[in-house]
Amino acid sequence: MSRPEFLLDGVAVPFDEGQMILEAGRAAGRYIPHLCWHPDFPPHGSCKLCVVKVAGRHVSACATPARAGAEVESDTPEINAERRMLLQLLFVEGNHFCPACEKSGQCQLQAMAYDLEMTTPRFRHFYPDRPVDASHPEVLLDFNRCIYCELCVRASREQDGKSVFALTGRGIHKHLAVNAESGRLADTDFSADDKAAHICPVGVILKKRVGFAVPIGERTYDRAPLHTVAMPKSEDDA
Amino acid sequence: MSAPPKLRIATVSLAGCFGCHMSLLDIDEHVFDLLQRVELDRSPLTDLKHCGPCDIGLVEGGVCNSENVHVLREFRAQCKTLVALGACAINGGLPAQRNHLDVGRCLSAVFQSRPGMDTAEVPDDPELPLPLDKVHPIHEVVRVDYFLPGCPPSGEAIWQFLSDLLAGRTPRVAYPILHFD
């Protein structure tokens, strides 16, 4: 029996029952932008960059199951404009000063802004005061760049079994916190070998002393755009 | 047939480092093409002190003091198309890294408690423009038509952008010339 299909921007995409729109699209070689979604974790649905339009509704593609015959709009001016606005809100909410960031060129937030041709943050900047935590001997935390995707929280809790990170506070006061009495990373059992140390899509969790080992101009997204890099390398990775 | 009238361009560096202007000069031999099609009004290259009616205004740097506000408003009033050129004009850039500090404490740290400063006073000459409490991107002060990111934008990006603008096309800044660093 042939697999059920839905239409993604007019192209038929087959899916397995229970599969989410983003995953099914990805398996069929169709990229849908995402920041908080990661293939190793269940959908989180917080960044909303994977927004798509299904039957007139704007839904998160990472957390919406595919339905046979559904018409899904993703790469359209309307939806991309909405994504660009979400990016602009993320940019003004933190301190995203790319010229001084070690992650520049390897940062998914920046690469997505390039992909969606975001040339201005458009809104009024918050310029929040978020001191860095350099206490750990091997890893630096620069909270200025946090986008609250919770990937480090999830990786530390579910894969490393350490629960080093958490999001705390509500609304505009929400921030990333370190699970130690002192609030310092040095006072946890966090290690540079943890999954959580390598999963940050932006420049919050940085390994010390290797920041510029790969020069600017030769980095991941200098070589290829995000919509190419983010796709699985082979069928098996999907 | 006579040549079309030249477009007038004004440029300025507010709270910037002149890096974007250096990058503008970095368009190499295209400078000749550019000068055949444009005439410079106020600019560090002409040293004119005020801006007349212009077609295009290129603004480098953010807004960090009262003079920047006046100059930026003059540019907005005189230029049909205003362009934010480079990271500082777009998001405040390096000067905006002082935004989480108190400006009074910054001034006293630099002028009053730094070793080797004889006067030990914050300069208050009336000719000096007052610093703002925060550094702002220019779009927070005036309406901006186009944004060309980069620290600085490459000569290639600037030339492509200006070529579009001079030809009457909507400039498009996309991969691979779109950079925030």
The 10s digit of each residue's pLDDT in A80-97 is: 999 999 999 999 999 999
Residues of B in contact with A100 (CB under 8 A): 94, 97
Region A101-113: what's the mean pLDDT? 97
Domain boundaries, chain B: 7-99+133-166
Residue A127 inside a domain? The answer is: yes
Domain span at A52: 5-75
Region A138-145: what's the mean pLDDT? 97
Same domain as A181, residue A95:
yes
Q: Over the stretch A33-46, which tens digit does the pLDDT of each residue have? A: 999 999 999 999 99
- Given A54, A75, A96, the domain boundary residue is A75
Confidence of residue B154 (pLDDT cuts 50, 70, 90): very high
Whether residues A119 and B181 touch (CB distance < 8 A) is answered with no
Q: Over the stretch A162-205, which tens digit does the pLDDT of each residue have? A: 999 999 999 889 999 999 999 999 999 999 999 999 999 999 99
Same domain as A133, residue A39:
no
CATH number at residue A45: 3.10.20.740
pLDDT, residue A54, reads 98
Residue A236 inside a domain? The answer is: no
Residue A221 inside a domain? The answer is: no
Region B133-144: what's the mean pLDDT? 98
Residue A216 inside a domain? The answer is: no
Same domain as A68, residue A184:
no
Q: Which class in CATH covers the domain with range B7-99+133-166?
A: alpha beta
Count of domains forming chain A: 2
Q: Could you give the CA distance from residue B87 to residue A25 in angstroms, rounded to a whole number?
A: 35
Q: Which of A108, A119, A228 would you mutate first to test chain B, the one with the most B CBs within 10 A?
A: A119
Confidence of residue B1 (pLDDT cuts 50, 70, 90): low
| Whether B144 contacts chain A with CB within 8 A | yes
Whether residues B147 and A119 touch (CB distance < 8 A) is answered with yes
- Residue pairs between chains A and B whose CB atoms are closer than 8 Å: 73
Same domain as A204, residue A158:
yes
Name which of B90, B172, B180 is nearest A110 (Cβ-Cβ). Answer: B180
Confidence of residue A236 (pLDDT cuts 50, 70, 90): low
| Whether B171 contacts chain A with CB within 8 A | no
Whether residues B148 and A129 touch (CB distance < 8 A) is answered with no
| Whether B149 contacts chain A with CB within 8 A | yes
Average pLDDT, chain A: 96
Residues of B in contact with A125 (CB under 8 A): 91-92, 96, 99, 136-137, 140
Which secondary-structure segment (H or E) carries A90?
Answer: helix A77-93
DSSP string, chain B: -PPPPPEEEEEEESBS-SHHHHHHHTTTTHHHHHHHHEEE-SSTTTT-SS--SEEEEEEESBEEEHHHHHHHHHHHHHEEEEEEESHHHHH-TGGGGGTTS-HHHHHHHHHTSSTT-SS-S----TTSPPEEEEEE-GGGTS--SEEE--SSPPHHHHHHHHHHHHTTPPP---TTT----
pLDDT beyond 60 at A57: yes
pLDDT beyond 50 at A238: no
- Given A75, A107, A122, the domain boundary residue is A75
pLDDT beyond 90 at B115: no
Residue A233 inside a domain? The answer is: no
Residues 66-95 on B with a CB inside 8 Å of A are 84, 87, 90-94
Same domain as A106, residue A128:
yes
Q: Over the stretch A110-140, which tens digit does the pLDDT of each residue have? A: 999 999 999 999 999 999 999 999 999 999 9
Enter the pTM of the model: 0.95
CATH number at residue A192: 3.30.70.20
ipTM: 0.93
Structure tokens at A95: 């301190």
Give SS3 for A166.
strand
Whether residues A121 and B137 touch (CB distance < 8 A) is answered with yes
- Min CA distance, A164 vs chain B (Å)? 27
Same domain as A175, residue A192:
yes
pLDDT, residue A235, reads 53
| Whether B99 contacts chain A with CB within 8 A | yes
pLDDT, residue A194, reads 97
